[in-house]
Amino acid sequence: MLIRENLKTRLKDMELFARILEIEPFDMYLIGGSVSILGGYSNRGTRNFDFIDLNYPSKLGRVFRILGTFNFLEFESTILSPSYPKRAKKLKDYRYLNILIYILAPEDLIVSKIIRLSKKDQSDIEILLKKSNPGVINEIINEVLAREDLMKTKKEGFIEKLKFFKEKFDV
C-alpha cells in the first residue's frame, strides 16, 4: 500500500506542478509495474513510471521530472496494439488540470510482457490473467502481429516467445 500511495502522490505533485506552470491538459498512458499497482492488478514493488511517448513538447520535461524515475516508451518499439487507448482506464484522482492519466488494461499489459517472459513477467502474467479476458488477449496479439510500424527486431522477438506464452498460459 505504501508504494501505491507514493506513486499516487508523485502523480498528484506532477499535476500540481503542471498547474502552477499553466501547462495545458495532456494525456499520459502508463504501462508496466506502476500500472499493476495503481490499477490494483498486483502489489509488486516498483517506483518508476513507464509511459507511451505521445510526442510530448519539450516544455513538459520539467513536469515529468517530478515523477522521479520514468521512461518514455516509443510506440514503434513497444509491444502494444494500436487500439490500446480504447481499453485504457482513466485514473480519477487527478483533477487540478484535468491531466488525463490512463492505465493500460490487464490484457494489454499481458501482451506487452510476452516479448521478455522473464520469471517476474511470468509471475505478473499469472496474476493479470485472473482479471483478463483470453479472447481480448488474442485480439490484441493479432493486432500486434498486424502492425507494420513495429520495429522488426521487436516483432521477431515477440513471435519467438508467443508459442511458449500460449502453451504455458493456455491462451
The pLDDT tens digits of the residues spanning 125-134 come to 999 999 999 9
Mean pLDDT by 10 residues, the chain (171 residues): 86 92 89 86 81 93 93 95 93 68 92 94 93 97 98 96 96 92
Say what the pLDDT of residue 47 is: 78
Say what the pLDDT of residue 95 is: 66
pTM, entire model: 0.85
Q: Give buried/exposed letters for 143-155 (b at 16+ CB in 10 A, else e).
A: ebeebeebeeebb
Round to whole Å and give the CA distance between 35 and 4.
Answer: 10
Domains annotated on the chain, with CATH: 2-169 (3.30.460)
First-to-final CA distance of the chain: 31
Say what the pLDDT of residue 80 is: 96
